[in-house]
């Protein structure tokens, strides 16, 4: 038990033997989740906040509004986990069964709490409403449960403590759940969990495949604390270093040498870390060097410009962009008509001239031109997915990449934008 | 067993006793899900597609890259479900353990399949690469498993059949998983599942709130089959009509009269149905009327042009776009300098003139101008989230909407683009 915890928290008795190493699991409740009608963002919200509390999340489960399956899920969780976090099923309707399922799983009687019922009626009258009688069930408790306030809704949460285990039942609407988590649940858990914290550091690379990164850093992957893992993402391959320690500082001390080693191996293929986006990383390089960029896009239809301007402060280095969907507009914007006639608009020659034209017209240091076939129909007999990306700058002859990437229209656009930013970054590394 | 299934499907023996009432469960694999670093969209994707196959999804689970817990999850699923659908953990790295966990749970030996290994090496050499040795594990199988092709990646799926149960292992990257689902998995499951089907029809509205829609269609909400539900979404309020029946056709017969009634009530507020996007709906209206549009964007940075061109065939009505991030560029593109000086770039006057200038310059029937403050810093003392959207056409004085939407940079951009498309649709309804 944690005497300090008991001393610290007046609201709830925090005596909790298992605190030093809390195994947690989340259960998201609602048939609409299992029908795919809504995305279960509550589970991710909770998952993303547990590491900093030093609580390990081992299982996430979604189950429908079915008393048997829901009770079974809670019973199993009660057997294997120290902390169970449920969301949903606390509403007033007949298929809100979380309270009933917890009572069944823990074999405890469910009864209406007079004080809670009064508060609930007050909640309604404060809004000039009369409480529908079916809402009374929201004032029910079991002996092991204590209510958790929910100022944003009618469903109070439950804090259930028994057999050295804790179950926290929270409402499903994210605005109610998140407020309850931040104000009520997280602070209490922070006092319980003395199992140290988990800190992660993600290094983001470009230009090498998942398998290659895995081989390059092979020896590091055997380390257990910090642990090292490789993930393939849309913006390149990520390397994640994760350390568990008593404090954030200690975890960072474990990560530092591993990060240094990884950086030594991966070198310039690393373009950013943690939440940094490629557009922000490239934008920072442009700002540092006092350089600017302008874009002329065809098949990406403005997605490159939009992505570049997703980075805050981009106005200081983004000179502007043209979305030139037709050959006429490209020519009107300064692309050599002769090149278009000779090679067609879907050609590396035209991509290069688009980059040059927009750089000159908007007075930028770099110009990027993208032309290709986003589909669904081929263009100029060039297959869907044919992409030409060119970078123009005054000093060099510029660079260009051409490839075919036969995928969905959206995927083709995204891939082209990422490639264009990779191209720009490579050029900036030389500056 | 289903003799027809066996006859129909050459690829795989579909003999399957439990087909008539398939209980399914999904397992999403990856520690990054349990750390809250990525949102598990694969499970929702699968969940949303099972009802139409008449397959009931009873459980969704997420588990990390841990051999014991993963094997335990698979073992339990094997005990309680007819169909198990896993995503993730098929990569080449050391913590991709799905194959190992299935082998352990089913107690079958894992061995490399020569033919698959050859295909894998061919996949790499076709891209001018040498396969890293660690990718060999992606060619491993157990006796009960057959490979499922994955043209979009190096990880083949598994179709495991034993004890009247089926386990399908799919890769984690959505672009690979979704293609495998659509081309390989769903068609096979469709032949197995002979339970009734659930069919949904979604009507998408604009310009009225959730509460209003709820009131307008109030009586319809009491219907049970088909059932009717109202959802508030980013592109307006959706009305979903869902019917359960023995066949798709029968379900559609149940939906048709309800849809007619709903359309009678909601009228022109309905802009599309099911998977139709707003840009596709507006694009179709432009094409039908032989009209065109051009854009000049400031704070949305090209997202409007990119969204318009997300619709296939947009080249027939999208004349092009300018991303004019600076006042100078706006003026260079024909915006009245006097207006900019008098009202500032973030003003409805300038938005209107941007719309006029781009319409005239690109010879379009409609011009759209967007200016505002996407943040994080205020501009011209106008608060973050201030947005001015204007539509210009030759016949009328045009229309404009101004509002403040204090949210994240990305949300501000998305909201402005949706509003611009709503504005364009409203104008097209008059044509």
* pLDDT surpassing 70 at residue B302: yes
**Residue A63 to chain B, least CA–CA distance (Å):** 5
Average pLDDT of the residues in A64-81 = 96
- Across B30-139, the runs of DSSP E, i.e. the strands, are 56-63, 83-87, 111-112
Mean pLDDT across chain A, nearest whole number? Answer: 89
Give the pLDDT of residue A180: 94
Closest CA in chain B for residue A219:
B94
pLDDT-based confidence at B82, cuts 50/70/90?
very high
Average pLDDT of the residues in A96-105 = 96
Q: Which residue has the higher pLDDT, B242 or A162?
A: A162
Nearest by CB to B312, from A61, A314, A376: name it: A376
Alpha carbon separation from B187 to A176, A366, B179, B183, B193 (Å, rounded): 40, 49, 12, 7, 10
Distance of CA A362 to the CA centre of its chain: 35
Tokens of A321: 């962009």
* pLDDT surpassing 60 at residue A4: no
Question: Looking at domain B278-430, does it have CATH number 3.40.50.1820?
Answer: no
Tokens of B396: 């009328």
Under CATH, to which class is A197-273 assigned? alpha beta
What is the β-pairing status of strands A83-87 and A23-29?
Answer: parallel
The answer to whether the Cβ–Cβ distance between A36 and B59 falls below 8 Å is no
pLDDT-based confidence at A2, cuts 50/70/90?
very low
pLDDT exceeding 70 applies to what percent of chain B? 94
Residues of B in contact with A367 (CB under 8 A): none
The per-residue pLDDT for range B213-264, each reduced to its tens digit, is 888 898 898 888 898 888 777 788 889 898 888 888 999 999 999 999 999 9
* pLDDT surpassing 80 at residue A9: no
Number of A:B CB contacts under 8 A? 235
pLDDT-based confidence at A125, cuts 50/70/90?
confident
Closest CA in chain A for residue B44:
A36
Measured N-to-C along each axis, helices A67-80 and A98-106 cross at an angle, to the nearest 10 degrees, of 50
Return the ∠ at Cα B419 (arms to B414 and B422), rounded to 5°.
Answer: 130
Nearest by CB to B58, from A69, A297, A315: name it: A69
pLDDT exceeding 70 applies to what percent of chain A? 94
The per-residue pLDDT for range A360-412, each reduced to its tens digit, is 999 999 999 999 998 888 888 888 899 999 999 988 777 899 998 878 888 89
Give the pLDDT of residue A21: 65
Give kind and range of the element (H or E) at residue B404: strand B399-404
The answer to whether the Cβ–Cβ distance between B312 and A214 falls below 8 Å is no
The answer to whether the Cβ–Cβ distance between A301 and B310 falls below 8 Å is yes
The answer to whether the Cβ–Cβ distance between A49 and B37 falls below 8 Å is no
Nearest by CB to A58, from B45, B69, B310: name it: B69
Give the pLDDT of residue B15: 37
Exposed e or buried b per residue across A343-368, where buried means at least 16 C-beta atoms within 10 angstroms of its C-beta: bbbbbbbbbbbbbbbbbebbebbbbb
Return the ∠ at Cα B170 (arms to B168 and B173), rounded to 5°.
Answer: 165
Residues of B in contact with A301 (CB under 8 A): 305-306, 308-310, 314, 318, 321
Among A207, A227, A305, A307, which would you mutate to test the B interface (most chain B Cβ atoms within 10 Å of its Cβ)? A305
What is the β-pairing status of strands A293-297 and A318-323?
Answer: parallel
CB neighbourhood size of B126 (10 A): 8
Give the pLDDT of residue B213: 84
Residues of B in contact with A304 (CB under 8 A): 302
Instruction: Please state the CATH superfamily assignment of the domain spanning residues B8-192 in this structure.
Output: MoaB/Mog-like domain (3.40.980.10)
- Across B316-375, the runs of DSSP E, i.e. the strands, are 318-323, 366-372
Average pLDDT of the residues in B304-311 = 96
Give the pLDDT of residue B10: 31
The answer to whether the Cβ–Cβ distance between A215 and B134 falls below 8 Å is yes
CA-closest candidate to residue A371, choices A358, A356, A393, A390? A390
The answer to whether the Cβ–Cβ distance between A35 and B57 falls below 8 Å is yes
The per-residue pLDDT for range A307-351, each reduced to its tens digit, is 999 999 999 999 999 999 888 999 999 999 999 999 999 999 999
Among B69, B155, B309, which would you mutate to test the A interface (most chain A Cβ atoms within 10 Å of its Cβ)? B309
Most distant CA atoms of chain A, gap in Å: 85
* pLDDT surpassing 80 at residue A57: yes
- The domain segmentation of chain B, as residue ranges, is 8-192, 197-273, 278-430
The per-residue pLDDT for range A177-236, each reduced to its tens digit, is 998 998 899 888 887 866 677 788 999 998 888 888 988 998 998 898 998 988 888 888
């Amino acid at each position: 038990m944690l005497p300090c915890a008991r001393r610290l928290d007046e609201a709830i008795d925090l005596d909790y033997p298992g605190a030093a190493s809390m195994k947690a699991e989340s259960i998201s409740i609602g048939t609409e989740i299992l029908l795919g009608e809504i995305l279960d963002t509550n589970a991710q919200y909770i998952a993303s906040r547990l590491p900093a509390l030093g609580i390990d999340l081992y299982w996430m489960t979604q189950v429908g509004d079915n008393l048997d399956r829901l009770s079974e899920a809670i019973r199993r969780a009660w057997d294997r986990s120290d902390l169970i976090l449920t969301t949903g099923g606390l509403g007033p309707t007949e298929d809100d069964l979380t309270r009933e399922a917890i009572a069944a799983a823990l074999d405890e009687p469910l009864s209406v709490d007079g004080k809670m019922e009064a508060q609930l009626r007050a909640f309604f009258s404060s809004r000039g409403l009369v409480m529908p009688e079916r809402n009374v069930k929201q004032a029910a408790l079991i002996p092991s449960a204590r209510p958790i306030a929910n100022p944003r809704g009618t469903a109070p949460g439950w804090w259930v403590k028994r057999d050295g285990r804790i179950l926290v039942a929270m409402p499903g609407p994210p605005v109610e759940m998140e407020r309850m988590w931040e104000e009520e649940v997280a602070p209490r858990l922070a006092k319980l969990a003395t199992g140290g914290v988990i800190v992660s550091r993600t290094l983001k690379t470009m230009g090498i495949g998942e398998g290659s990164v895995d081989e390059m850093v092979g020896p590091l992957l055997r380390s257990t604390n910090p642990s090292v893992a490789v993930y393939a993402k849309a913006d390149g391959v990520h390397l994640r270093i994760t350390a568990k320690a008593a404090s954030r500082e200690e975890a960072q001390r474990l990560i530092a040498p591993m990060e240094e080693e990884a950086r030594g191996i991966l070198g310039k293929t690393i373009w950013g870390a943690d939440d940094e986006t490629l557009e922000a990383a490239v934008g920072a390089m442009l700002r540092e060097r006092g350089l600017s960029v302008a874009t002329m896009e065809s098949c990406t239809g403005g997605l490159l410009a939009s992505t570049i301007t997703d980075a805050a402060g981009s106005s200081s280095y983004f000179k502007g962009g043209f979305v030139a969907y037709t050959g006429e507009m490209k020519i009107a914007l300064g692309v050599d008509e002769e090149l278009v006639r000779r090679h067609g608009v879907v050609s590396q020659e035209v991509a290069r001239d688009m980059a040059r034209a927009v750089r000159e017209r908007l007075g930028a240091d770099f110009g990027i031109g993208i032309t290709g076939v986003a589909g669904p129909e081929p263009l100029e007999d060039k297959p869907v997915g044919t992409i030409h990306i060119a970078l123009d700058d005054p000093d060099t002859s510029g660079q260009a990449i051409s490839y075919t990437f036969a995928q969905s229209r959206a995927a083709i656009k995204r891939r082209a934008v990422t490639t264009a930013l990779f191209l720009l970054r490579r050029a900036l590394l030389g500056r």
